Structure 1
Amino acid sequence: MADREVSVLVVGGGLNGLASALFLSQQGVDVHLVERNDKTAQLLRAAGVSARTMELFHSVGLEPEIRERGLRLIPGEHWTEPHSPVDLLPRAILGAKRLSDIGNGRAFVMEEGTVEVADASPMEPAWCGQDRLEPMMIREAVQRGARIEFGTEMVSYEQDADGVTAVVRTLATGAEQRIRARYLIAADGVTSPIRESLGITRSGNGTIGHVLSILFEADLDSVVEGRRFLIAYLLNEAAGLLHRFDETRWVFGLFFDPERHAEAETSKDKALELLRTALGEPDLPIDIQLVNRWRLAHDVADTYRSGRIFLVGDACHVHPPAGGYGANSGMQDAHNLAWKLAAVLRGWAGESLLDSYEQERHPVGKATADQAWIRQTTRSEGDGGHPDLRNSTVISTGYRYPEGAFVGEKGGEALETELRIDGRPGLRVPHVWLEREGAKVSTVELATDTFVLLAAPDGASWADAATAAAGALGIPLSAYRIGTDLADAEGRFLQVTGLTPQGALLVRPDGFVAWRSPGAAGDPRVLLQDVLEQITARA
């Protein structure tokens, strides 16, 4: 007999595991997370939070705090401005032989980006390190009922037709307990013992190299004369990549040979020597805070699911950090899976809805990994004009599910050549500012834990039919009529969504379009009941 029963057990307490616990608890699912490390953020590699991920954090109330505690991203061309405020971070990627080249104007621009996503998202991206972000996520998940235990490892597990039985051990005491869960989420990282035990294979370009990451504190601003930048490639005998982690700390990463470099050579003393060479500042005071070794690779799991066990984040896709897509993609995995698990556990969706997790996230994960690979290799080779390169907003927000839990035209590429968030099923709902009870609200903010039916101004029958159909099926749904329940002051809704005044859009609890009718139809209730049954695998 189990000591504890829970709906979902999450193994791994990094960003992806914590996102799983947070988004499941947001949906009212009881969740238990175990993490063998005794504290958060052992690897400080992730700091960039995309606009899409900020949408997800906004839905759980964390977005204002993340902005307050992080740095503010601004357009890349501002990197040339000296003595800028330390909390500003221009989206500029620079190349230089030494750090002082940035201060004396000898650096060259490898890439400049903007933060203008106003037409694509109600949110702007943010820059907030894991060591600040993860405690916020833990606090919010626990407040919603999640149980999170650090210093606890999973010793073993057994899967059967009805669930998973796991034995977990508290490392400080050696005490063990048996946990019975309906489902298990493997968020146990790149090496993922759970994935390996399941025999899940991976495909990709494999190991690119091994990286040494050095977290340090130093007054680099005096060298660059207060110029801010996102990343600088320092191209010398200790070549590597430098980026600001927060107001006072920096991260420097460089390739190294693990066979040629003994463990002693990756100590803090060796790291200090490497840093001084790379920066070109032999006398600069530097405080080394953390030195990590990790494998740079490009691999995607061939399946994201084995029975009642699901892979998320690094456990199912790992790729170079170029573009900053890794943690964001993993947290979006967790969000996609959370509402589906909640729907099945509550009984208003069929078990096969869970198949759509892999159908949707695998193509996106592979395409995203490939884009990171292209960015990594083209930057290394000095060629930024790769024909398959996609716009960052397409990758982070404008991706489309070729197959999955939606009704409408399927197929095509996960990442299209141009940004088109236009109301097609399989895309995140187009962002349009509306007004509800005198307050500004985006269409993206309307669907967080229920389905949402957005009826065009003359589509009242759609709203009534959706409410009736969802009620008959026990599916949570909110219906709004544009022009009545929600004001469209800018008059953009119909144009952006591809609807006529008689049309309607059905949005899933994760904000993705599930179905669209450009105009009127025969019997709206019969049609919508059939659509909802198909989407929730009840048909």
Structure 2
Amino acid sequence: MNKVSNERVPVLIVGGAYTGLSTALGLAHHGVKPLLVERRPTTSTLPKAWGLNPRTMELLDTIPGVGADVRAAMGNGTMPAVRSGASVRVATQPEIDPTPFIAAYQAMTAAPVCFLPQSTIEKILRSRAEDLGADLRFGTELVSWTQDDDAVTATLRDVSSGHEYTVQADYLVAADGNTSPIRTSLGIPLEGGGRVGHVYVITFEADLTSYFTPGHFVVVGIPGSGTSVIHDSFGVTTLWVDYFPEEGQSEADFTEEKCLERVRNAIGVPDLECRIANARPFPLNHQLAERFVDGRVILAGDAAHACPPVGGQGGNLAIQDGYDVAWRLALILTGQAGPALLDTYPQERRPVINITLEREVALLGVAEGRILSTFDESQPIPTLREQLGFRYHSPAVRTEPGDDMSLQEDPAAPTGRPGTRAPHVRLTLDGETLSTHDLFGKEFVLLTGDDGAEWVDAAAKVADRFGVGLVSRQIGVRFVDADNVWRSRYGIESAGAALVRPDAVIAWRCKDAADDPERELAEALTAVLAR
């Protein structure tokens, strides 16, 4: 079908992987129908970027159906079994007991750890985004673009037909990967170590039922060999091999015959029947864009930052970026917030992301960047502090007098300070168990206690006056605090209130009753929304 020139869309997203799909999904969830273009014909078909951490799952759970689809795809999947040995054949016993980590997560969040490949998760994100009305055009590429004070004008091309047409958008989201042509054209410098290493990824097919239990995710590190074997819950197996082009290695060292030899050595079966499905080099990058926003253009995901995959956080950061960009743009485009709200995206995300990037690089473990030759069993999952204990600072957070500018806190001992993730508290509603996080996502939520009736009235008046999505929830009235911890975790009294943003971050709180709740809430919301 020929597309009409001079289409007008609210948001044009370039790139159809994790970042672009999560941005499109988030916008559509908030009632803004974006256009996404991706030059590939479909979503990812190769297994990579296994695993979504609980923070990412909490965000996806706020969009109806997404979390349920992910859980259904997980089936009975569990935390990965981590083994180490001279080969898969002899490395039969897990070396890490995941029980303490699972218990630690469950005390802080109702969301699971998800170990699915990116290829599976992208299909879920795409399906749900299309169901909500997002226009996703795979097989379409960005040819050129310009921006001015009023819009971004882009020329697009249908890859199969060659037909070109123009589109105007209020905003352009660059979700076009770590080499990002959009970022390059803007001349945005990169910080970080740049290219810090390489691996070669070999996907193969073989009967490994003697070594892996169906439906279980297993990682086997082979110390000293520079290799690691990943067998996911779908039965797809990959071999990650240290690769050093700077030392003279090239793709000629990874012919099909040589790949077969590497696979058989790693499995420990010299005559293993095996088919190489795919073999490709994979660069390890450490980069952070100097700025994430340039006029009407927003960088997100790998276009804004990239890190080695040792801790599995690149994909999580990408989805979280997409979610954060989406709720801000939706509020701006629907007139609920001022354009300056967009500036809070880099102000908040960039410092917190940098902490994760630095840790991922540190996990390489060897000065010359050898990712796999040293298997570090002390780091089975990233730190909980990074995932759930982050803290944002920007005008979209009303910092309290005398507070510090810390970027992290212990998520096991939450303070409820503005800028932190809203703590998980187990609630019951009409006999059903839920989490405080089940209350967040679509709009702003004002939490108050059983003595907070004045805040409930104030929220209704402010929502009507401002024309914004704002609802109140009284803990202790219908919503029962099953463990009697919600006030301590949020740092307020029963007559106080906490304002939670759509991304489940505390924007503001009043620790106790206020003389004029409506005025207090209106002032806070005016600042947070950059109105």
Q: TM-score scaled by structure 2? A: 0.91
Question: How does 1:118-133 map onto structure 2 within 5 Å?
Answer: 118-133=106-121
Deviations 1:416-449 (A, max 9, x none): 4664433111112111122334433211121211
Q: What is the Cα-based RMSD across aligned positions, in Å?
A: 2.5
Distance 1:240 1:461 in 2: 62
Describe the SS at the equivalent of 2:201: strand
For 1:265, the aligned partner's letter is D
Distance 2:237 2:214 in 1: 14
Distance 2:324 2:99 in 1: 31
Q: How far did 1:293 drift?
A: 1.3
Residues 234 and 279, structure 1, Cα contact 8 Å, conserved in 2: no
Question: How does 1:81-480 map onto structure 2 within 5 Å?
Answer: 88-103=77-92, 114-116=101-103, 117-223=105-211, 230-237=218-225, 239-258=226-245, 260-377=248-365, 392-409=383-400, 411-416=404-409, 419-480=412-473
**Structure 2 spans left out of the alignment, 5+ residues:** none
Q: Which residue of 2 aligns with 1:62?
A: 66
Q: Which moved more, 1:108-117 or 1:329-338?
A: 108-117
Cα pair distance change 1:256/1:489, threshold 3 Å: closer
Q: How far did 1:225 drift?
A: 8.0
Describe the SS at the equivalent of 2:241: strand
Q: 1:24 aligns with which of 24, 27, 34?
A: 27
Distance 1:236 1:408 in 2: 49
Residues 388 and 411, structure 2, Cα contact 8 Å, conserved in 1: no
Residues 204 and 278, structure 2, Cα contact 8 Å, conserved in 1: yes
Residues 311 and 381, structure 2, Cα contact 8 Å, conserved in 1: no
Distance 1:416 1:457 in 2: 28
Q: Which residue of 1 aligns with 2:36?
A: 33
Q: Which residue of 2 aligns with 1:76?
A: none
Q: How far did 1:253 drift?
A: 1.0
Q: How far did 1:281 drift?
A: 1.9
Describe the SS at the equivalent of 2:310: coil
Describe the SS at the equivalent of 1:30: coil
Q: How far did 1:215 drift?
A: 1.6
Q: Which moved more, 1:437-446 or 1:261-270?
A: 261-270
Q: How far did 1:490 drift?
A: 2.7
Q: Which residue of 2 aligns with 1:524?
A: 517
Q: How far did 1:536 drift?
A: 0.2
Distance 1:461 1:226 in 2: 56
For 1:501, the aligned partner's letter is S
Describe the SS at the equivalent of 1:248: coil
Distance 1:280 1:383 in 2: 21
Distance 1:262 1:382 in 2: 24
Q: How far did 1:185 drift?
A: 0.5
Deviations 1:291-344 (A, max 9, x none): 221211211111111111111111111111122111011101111111110111
Deviations 1:344-402 (A, max 9, x none): 1011111101000001110111111112112222786677889xx99622222221113
Deviations 1:123-155 (A, max 9, x none): 111111122211221111111110001111100
For 1:351, the aligned partner's letter is P
Residues 218 and 249, structure 1, Cα contact 8 Å, conserved in 2: no
For 1:9, the aligned partner's letter is L
Cα pair distance change 1:63/1:383, threshold 3 Å: closer
Q: Which residue of 2 aligns with 1:505?
A: 498
Distance 1:324 1:515 in 2: 32
Size of the aligned set, in residue pairs, is 518
Cα pair distance change 1:54/1:390, threshold 3 Å: closer
Cα pair distance change 1:131/1:398, threshold 3 Å: same
Q: Which residue of 2 aligns with 1:79?
A: none
Distance 1:450 1:311 in 2: 24
Describe the SS at the equivalent of 1:182: strand
Q: How far did 1:480 drift?
A: 1.5
For 1:314, the aligned partner's letter is D
Corresponding position: 1:5 with 2:12? no
For 1:67, the aligned partner's letter is R
Q: Which residue of 2 aligns with 1:80?
A: none
Cα pair distance change 1:113/1:196, threshold 3 Å: farther
Distance 1:385 1:143 in 2: 42
Distance 2:469 2:415 in 1: 25
Cα pair distance change 1:492/1:418, threshold 3 Å: closer
For 1:509, the aligned partner's letter is P
Q: Which moved more, 1:136-145 or 1:61-70?
A: 61-70
Describe the SS at the equivalent of 1:341: helix
Cα pair distance change 1:91/1:141, threshold 3 Å: same
Distance 2:23 2:297 in 1: 13
Q: Which moved more, 1:344-353 or 1:366-375?
A: 366-375
Q: TM-score scaled by structure 1? A: 0.90
For 2:40, the aligned partner's letter is N
Describe the SS at the equivalent of 2:177: coil
Q: How far did 1:110 drift?
A: 11
Q: How far did 1:63 drift?
A: 1.6
Residues 79 and 115, structure 2, Cα contact 8 Å, conserved in 1: no
Cα pair distance change 1:333/1:200, threshold 3 Å: same
Residues 71 and 246, structure 1, Cα contact 8 Å, conserved in 2: no
Describe the SS at the equivalent of 1:515: strand
Distance 1:281 1:247 in 2: 22
Q: How far did 1:517 drift?
A: 1.2
**Structure 1 spans left out of the alignment, 5+ residues:** 73-87
Residues 221 and 375, structure 2, Cα contact 8 Å, conserved in 1: no
Residues 47 and 236, structure 2, Cα contact 8 Å, conserved in 1: no
